[in-house]
């Protein structure tokens, strides 16, 4: 019960973050960056925004995502506690600002920013996210200098690191970062631990795509893989499969409502997410966006 309440609280916070007021209201001075050891020379950092994956070693530092720009100094301080070597590469799991707002800071400091090509294209111009938040285009320093389409591999700090594109799901430019030797994967927001994931239909995302992507990820990893989700605690393949099953169940409920010819308001009365998310305004907004995919 405590886990459900916590997940609901985090989901409500994340829903606020897709609105302009949510960004403006944040007190970044009070945010603390917490470092968690994952395995070998891999860590993740928690603060405000998406989880930051991190690998350190003789080649320097590679990070996955970078949260909000006002937190860059705190993030750098947390990294310095682990190693004095600089951040060489920043991999963007996708373009959303709670994962990439620090791009310009790290880019100006000399890091090479890497992303899926579609993510860079989104950052090149102003985007309106599903839910209404407008994300402004990034300056040149914050744009990825290296992009990929289907896959890319790094050999960095004695670790082969695979960047995987599992297709459009959360957005049309998501990258999952698989530390192959250590068997650790950072999924970005294709997999999160705050109940219903944010699906950005305005930018190529879809519920069907999320399900297909999680199927693909589950086939790539194994039962020993440690998952760093886009938000939330370390997870397992079993957690990923439970998440995928939740999405499949909700999709089935929405599909039945569509076949029955239910209006959006009638669909909400059937509570398609019952047992997974509270029947509140945030859940209803999510369901309406997903239902609109089947119009």
pLDDT tens, position by position, 170-199? 999 999 999 999 999 999 999 999 889 999
Domain of 66, in residue numbers: 2-248
Q: Is residue 271 in some structural domain?
A: no
Which tens digit of pLDDT belongs to each residue from 118-154? 999 999 999 999 988 999 999 999 999 999 999 999 9
Q: Is residue 25 in some structural domain?
A: yes
Q: Which of 152, 161, 153, 59 is nearest to 111 (CA)?
A: 59
Spatial separation of the C-alpha atoms in residues 264 and 289, rounded to whole Å: 10
Our count of domains for the chain comes to: 1
Q: Are strands 60-64 and 87-91 parallel, antiparallel or unpaired?
A: parallel
Which tens digit of pLDDT belongs to each residue from 242-282? 999 999 999 999 999 999 999 999 999 999 999 999 999 99
Q: Is residue 284 in some structural domain?
A: no
Alpha helices per DSSP H over the chain: 2-17, 20-25, 72-80, 97-100, 103-108, 117-123, 207-220, 237-259, 264-269, 281-292
Spatial separation of the C-alpha atoms in residues 84 and 156, rounded to whole Å: 17
Q: Is residue 292 in some structural domain?
A: no
b/e sequence 50-59, b meaning 16+ C-beta within 10 Å: bbbbbbbbeb
Which tens digit of pLDDT belongs to each residue from 62-118? 999 999 999 999 999 999 999 999 999 999 999 999 999 999 999 999 999 999 999
Q: Can you give the CATH number for the domain in which 67 is found? A: 3.60.15.10
Supply angle C-alpha 176, 293, 118, rounded to 5: 35
Which tens digit of pLDDT belongs to each residue from 15-43? 444 433 344 457 899 999 999 999 999 99
Q: Is residue 261 in some structural domain?
A: no
Q: Is residue 234 in some structural domain?
A: yes
C-alpha count within 13 angstroms, C-beta hemisphere, residue 108 = 7
Residue 30: how many CB atoms within 10 A of its CB? Answer: 7
């Amino acid at each position: 019960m405590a886990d459900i309440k916590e997940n609901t609280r985090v989901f409500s916070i994340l829903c606020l973050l897709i609105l302009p007021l949510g960004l403006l209201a944040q007190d970044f001075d009070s945010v603390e960056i917490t470092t968690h050891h994952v395995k070998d020379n891999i860590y993740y950092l928690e603060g405000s925004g998406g989880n930051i994956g991190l690998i350190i070693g003789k080649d320097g530092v590679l990070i996955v995502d970078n949260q909000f720009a006002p937190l860059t100094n705190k993030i750098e301080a947390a990294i310095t506690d682990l190693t004095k070597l600089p951040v060489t590469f920043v991999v963007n799991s996708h373009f959303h600002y709670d994962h990439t707002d620090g791009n310009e800071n790290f880019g100006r400091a000399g890091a090479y920013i890497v992303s899926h090509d579609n993510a860079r294209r989104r950052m090149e111009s102003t985007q309106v996210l599903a839910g209404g938040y407008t994300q402004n285009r990034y300056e040149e320093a914050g744009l990825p200098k290296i992009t990929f389409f289907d896959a890319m591999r790094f050999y960095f700090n004695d670790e082969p690191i695979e960047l995987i594109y599992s297709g459009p799901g959360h957005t049309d430019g998501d990258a999952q970062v698989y530390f192959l030797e250590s068997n650790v994967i950072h999924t970005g927001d294709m997999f999160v631990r705050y109940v219903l994931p944010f699906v950005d239909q305005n930018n190529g995302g879809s519920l069907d795509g999320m399900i297909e992507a999680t199927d693909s990820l589950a086939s790539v990893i194994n039962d020993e893989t440690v998952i760093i989700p886009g938000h939330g605690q370390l997870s397992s393949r079993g957690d990923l499969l439970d998440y995928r099953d939740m999405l499949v169940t909700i999709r089935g409920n929405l599909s039945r409502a569509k076949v029955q010819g239910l209006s959006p308001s009638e669909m909400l009365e059937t509570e398609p997410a019952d047992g997974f998310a509270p029947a509140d305004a945030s859940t209803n907004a999510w369901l309406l966006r997903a239902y609109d995919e089947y119009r």
